[in-house]
Chain A
Amino acid sequence: MGELVGLIDCNNFFVSCERLFRPDLQNKPVLVLSSNDGCVVARSQEVKDMSIPMGVPHFQIKDIIKDKGIAVFSGNLTLYRDISRRVFAVVAESFAKLEQYSIDEAFVILSDVTDLQQLIAQVKDNVFTQTGMPVSIGVASSKTLAKYAVDQAKQTTGCYVLTQDEWLRSAATVPLPTLWGVGRRLAEQYKTAGLFTAADLMQADQSRVAQLFGVQGTRLQAELAGEYVHLVTSKRPLQKSLMSSRSFATKTENKAILSDALAYHARHIAAQLRSMDAVAGTIRVSLQTSRHGDFLLRGGSLVTVLTEPTADTFTLISQAAQLLESLYEPAVPYQKVGVMVGEITNRLSLTTSLFPKPQTDNAALLQTIDALNKTVSGRELIVFGSRLQTKQWQSKAVARSAAYTTRWSDIARVSAS
């Protein structure tokens, strides 16, 4: 047996994080809302069983929440990131190569393992013991099949090794749209070509697949045949873009509030870029109106190319303000604004422009501000570019759990009484 691909996937990750310091929520229905929009982003099994779908807005399910006594949390990313870090640090001890794919999933390489079942069961136990996180592990010969295997794991004991024989037997019952990387549009194209299941694609003529679906199709075909095409790489490529956006507590026509909110997002993105040691080449500002009502078609977004890639807060704030000037329409009630930066590159790989502007050296100042803001985790101590308090526009978090692992004042209490 050569190399195999494993996928470690946390079970109901956000919910499991919320339950870690709250044993009273064990076996109780729990759901987590997105921190900006108040839509459901994570559900415990109990909530899934009530057929509350993913993504549904909070206000639409208020009654059932009350009736069934569902515990509701606003996303607590600080906590989730720390637990994620711990989980994959434990996982990494057992494998030569690990690629963290998202906050709650990682691919690993298993090479020349003698007892596969025993190893993954042990990793699963070990992660739970050390971090309290229940995980499922699927193993197969390619990433796409590992993803399928982990779904099987979730329906069984939490560990699943998919052999090629077994896959060949079940491929005819696996619809293509359920596979990793097959989005709605691609699924539609396969359907048009008469390909419905994984087996259909595997049996399709290779040159025809290449002709119809290009390299994406042939890669998927190879992955399904058990070829290790999509490599597990421990080096994570830089994100291509970063976004910060949030809905207002109440709709607003007030330009000062819009500009303050944009400055807030610009500060956050700039700080994040600096923490990644990266710079952005473009900035986009978007203003959105409510999806329901007369102003549906108003709002919009504009992008501008920065003269030089930057992570400078002052530059991003002033660029965002200029874009706001062009986008803003009076008497339109805006629901949500956001800032997005793109063309992110490593700061060090920069080639400077032919006509550099005289450098105002904000780097040292920003570094100090970053350090100060870090000491009061979760809150901004040094704020600039805004005149109002964020309270005036930020929607209230329903119930954000404590920063149990990152703030001394928030650590869990244990009773000795």
Chain B
Amino acid sequence: MSKRETVATAISAARPALIGTSPLYAAQPAAGFPAPGDDLVERPLDLNELMVDNETATFFVRVSGESMEGAKIFDGDILVVDRSITPESGSIVVAAIYGELVVKQLRQSADRTELVSAHADYQPIDINQADDVYVWGVVTGCVRRIGKR
């Protein structure tokens, strides 16, 4: 397998200009001659914009445990959960299983629906028959700080 360097790409250039109600001009006309480039006002990058599509349906939860490490979800990570998304096979979901909130992957086939972990030590949970199980929301993102604050 070829070794790949981690490359950080500048993304600020790719940001679409002037969304929504951004001011078209920063300077008041009365303030005098506008500074050059005043018509290119953009707001600073906001992580919410990157991580949250539907604010009213989005909730954050914290992961506790190792069973999703195969999906690169680690103990202590903060998950972005969007309730407005319809779960499908393969979705990472927060589910309520017998009164507990868990993070699993949803796997649906013709004859069964399962919640599976991303770790060899954990068995899939068949939820076809269970009535005390439901999908709480679909995980759309994962936030992790590096190092201590």
Task: List residues of chain A with CB under 8 Å of any chain B CB.
Answer: 21, 23-24, 26, 85-86, 89-90, 129-132, 404-405, 408, 411-417
Which residues of the other chain, B, contact A89 by a CB distance below 8 angstroms? 56
Given A23-B96, A415-B65, 18 new contacts (CB under 8 A): A23-B99, A23-B100, A23-B134, A24-B100, A86-B56, A130-B83, A130-B84, A405-B59, A405-B60, A411-B59, A411-B78, A414-B61, A414-B64, A414-B102, A415-B103, A416-B63, A416-B65, A416-B68
1/0 per position for B51-77, CB-CB distance to A under 8 A?
000101101111111111000010100
The SS class assigned to the A binding surface is: mixed
Q: Cβ of A129: which chain B residues have Cβ within 8 Å of it? A: 57, 83-84
Interface of B is mostly: strand
| Count of inter-chain pairs, beta carbons less than 8 A | 78
A24 touches B79 (CB 8 A): no
Residues of A within 8 A of B136 (CB): 23, 132
Q: At the interface, yes or no: B127 with Cβ under 8 Å from chain A?
A: no
Q: Are B62 and A411 in contact (CB under 8 A)?
A: yes
Give the nearest-CB partner of B81 in chain A. A414
Query: With A89-B56, A130-B54, A405-B59 in contact, is A413–B101 under 8 Å at CB?
Result: yes
Determine whether the beta carbon of A416 is less than 8 Å from that of B64.
yes
CB contact list, B85-131 vs A, under 8 A: 94, 96, 99-103, 117
Q: Which residues of A contact B102 (CB under 8 A)?
A: 414-416
Which of B66, B83, B94 makes the CB contact (< 8 A) with A417?
Answer: B66
CA separation between A411 and B76, bound complex, in Å?
11
Residue of B nearest to A88 (CB): B56
Chain B interface size, as a band, is: 20 to 34
CA distance A417 to B62 in the complex (A): 13
Select from chain B the residue with minimum beta-carbon distance to A416: B65
- Interchain nearest-CB distance for B60 vs A (Å): 5
Per the bound structure, the CA–CA distance linking A21 and B62 in Å amounts to: 12
Say whether A23 contacts B101, CB under 8 Å.
Answer: yes
Across the interface, do B117 and A416 meet the contact criterion of CB distance under 8 Å? yes
Nearest Cβ distance between residue A145 and chain B, in whole angstroms? 29
A23 vs B61: C-alpha distance when bound (angstroms):
14
A and B contact pairs by CB, cutoff 8 A, 28 listed: A23-B136, A26-B99, A89-B56, A90-B56, A90-B57, A130-B56, A130-B84, A131-B56, A404-B59, A405-B59, A405-B60, A408-B60, A411-B59, A411-B62, A412-B101, A413-B64, A414-B94, A414-B101, A415-B64, A415-B65, A415-B102, A415-B103, A416-B64, A416-B66, A416-B68, A416-B102, A417-B64, A417-B66
Report whether B60 and A411 are in contact in the complex, using a CB–CB cutoff of 8 Å: yes
CB-defined contacts of A131 to chain B, threshold 8 Å: 56-57, 83
CA distance A21 to B59 in the complex (A): 10
Q: CB-CB < 8 A to B63: which residues of A? A: 413-414, 416
Given A130-B56, A131-B56: A416 and B73 interface contact (C-beta under 8 Å)? yes
- Could you tell me if A416 and B59 are in contact, using CB atoms closer than 8 angstroms? no
**Contact B100–A416 (Cβ < 8 Å):** no
Residue of A nearest to B139 (CB): A414
